[in-house]
Amino acid sequence: MTGTSASRSRLTFSTVSSAVTLAALIAIPLFAKNFFVFQLTMVLIYGLAVLALNILTGASGQFSLGHSAFYAVGAYTSGILIEFAGMNYLLTLPVAGLVCFVFGFLFGFPALRLSGIYLALATFALAVAMPQLLKVGAFEHWTGGVQGLVITKPDAPFGLPLSQDVWLYYVTLAIAIVIYIAAVNLLNSRSGRAMMAIRDNQIAASAMGIDVAFYKTMAFGISAGITGIAGGLGAIVVQFVAPDGYTFQLAIALFLGMVVGGVGWLPGSLAGAAFIVFVPNLAEGVSKGLSGAVFGVFLFIIIFLVPHGARQIAILLQNLFVKFRTTQGGHHA
């Protein structure tokens, strides 16, 4: 057997934890109530959006507080195509992704001139603007104006005995897995390394011949595209799109999801999304009048305990796992 026992264990920990998580994700909906399945679907969807943010901020080092805008564009693209063009809901997703990719890519150009806090402001402006743009009278015929659009929820195909929620959950899971694997491959590829080089030292990267402008705008485009797909799925699952569902509060929630999961750590996207979906409800459960304060306290506790997010917990578990394996190995020797 090649490799030290430690490196074999490192490989095994991540495969073991991935396998367990995947098994849980596949099995839970078979036992859970429809509403919980719906919540879990939203976790996957927000997980995709947080993943997109991780690619942009974590990998290419560009700040965005505006991803709610891309989410909204994806959601409305899907909604409009389903309701006005009669398109099959699944087909709307790649279209939503493409539209958002272009949108994000174009936004990436002026973004090249901005960095750090300035880029944060620009993207935040985008997030604030989007609900207002969606309410503009001129587009009302398509967007439904302030009231938005109701979207027909699809049934499971071929008459399968699955509820709409469960069917949509598995569709979302499948898409999420595909995108996740693609994202991991992207970051491990030459392009991924180029992006990370830009994040670490832009001047040095460009001196090495990396086309900074190309990679940065591509990162924006890809990130926006994935968020658009998430938005489209969100629209279908929630059956509804309206301007006030995509305010800057969503952008902030996605940002918090990224931080809680561990910036730039793709697996953390799921943990971050779970935080976004469940903790606000938890806070309200503790105290209706002070739900915001309780949420804030929870958030503080988390960032005090694990300033680097869920990734820190994963590393801790991994170390325990390795210790466990090596003592086992020692006993056998």
Partner 1 sequence: MELFWNQVLAGISTGAIYAGMALAVVMIFTAIDNFNFAQGEMAMFSTFIAWQLIQWGMPFWWAFVLTVALSFVAGIAIERALFKPLAKAPILTNVAGFIALFAIINSVAGLIWDFTVKPFPTPFGTAPFLGSELVSTHQAGMIGVTFAMLAFLYVFFRYTRIGLAMRAAASLPESARLVGINTSWMIALGWGMATAIGAIAGMLIAPVVFLEPNMMGGVLLYGFAAAVLGGLTSPLGAVVGGLLVGVFENMVGTYIPGAGNELKLPIALALIVVVLVFKPTGLFGRTVVQRV
Which residue's CB is nearer to partner 1, number 102 or number 133?
133
Question: Minimum CB separation from partner 1 for residue 201, in Å?
Answer: 9
Question: Minimum CB separation from partner 1 for residue 122, in Å?
Answer: 5
Which residue's CB is nearer to partner 1, number 8 or number 308?
308
Contact 100/255 with Cβ under 8 angstroms? Answer: no
Which residue's CB is nearer to partner 1, number 29 or number 104?
104
Question: Minimum CB separation from partner 1 for residue 13, in Å?
Answer: 24
Which residue's CB is nearer to partner 1, number 210 or number 294?
294
Question: Minimum CB separation from partner 1 for residue 26, in Å?
Answer: 31
Which residue's CB is nearer to partner 1, number 55 or number 82?
55
Question: Minimum CB separation from partner 1 for residue 265, in Å?
Answer: 12
Which residue's CB is nearer to partner 1, number 187 or number 256?
256
Which residue's CB is nearer to partner 1, number 159 or number 289?
289
Q: Which of 295, 220, 257 is nearest to 63 (CA)?
A: 220
Structure tokens at 183: 């994202």
150 forms beta bridges with 240
Structure tokens at 287: 């105290």
CA separation for the pair 42, 164 (Å, rounded): 14
3-state secondary structure the chain: CCCCHHHHHHHHHHHHHHHHHHHHHHHHHHHCCHHHHHHHHHHHHHHHHHHHHHHHHHHCCCCCCCHHHHHHHHHHHHHHHHHHCCCCHHHHHHHHHHHHHHHHHHHHHHHCCCCHHHHHHHHHHHHHHHHHHHHCHHHHHHHCHHHCEECCCCCCHHHCCCCHHHHHHHHHHHHHHHHHHHHHHHHHCHHHHHHHHHHHCHHHHHHCCCCHHHHHHHHHHHHHHHHHHHHHHHHHHHCEECHHHCCHHHHHHHHHHHHHHCCCCCCHHHHHHHHHHHHHHHHHHHCCCCHHHHHHHHHHHHHHHCCCCHHHHHHHHHHHHHHHHHHHHHHHC
Question: Minimum CB separation from partner 1 for residue 194, in Å?
Answer: 19
Question: Minimum CB separation from partner 1 for residue 308, in Å?
Answer: 7
Question: Minimum CB separation from partner 1 for residue 275, in Å?
Answer: 11
Binding site for partner 1 (CB under 8 A): 57, 110, 113-115, 117-118, 120-122, 124-125, 128-129, 132-133, 135-138, 203-204, 207, 252, 255-256, 258-260, 263, 289-297, 299-300, 303-304, 307-309
State whether the Cα torsion 125-267-263-208 is positive or negative. Answer: negative
Which residue's CB is nearer to partner 1, number 232 or number 264?
264
Question: Minimum CB separation from partner 1 for residue 114, in Å?
Answer: 6
CB 25: neighbour CB atoms within 10 A?
Answer: 18
Which residue's CB is nearer to partner 1, number 1 or number 117?
117
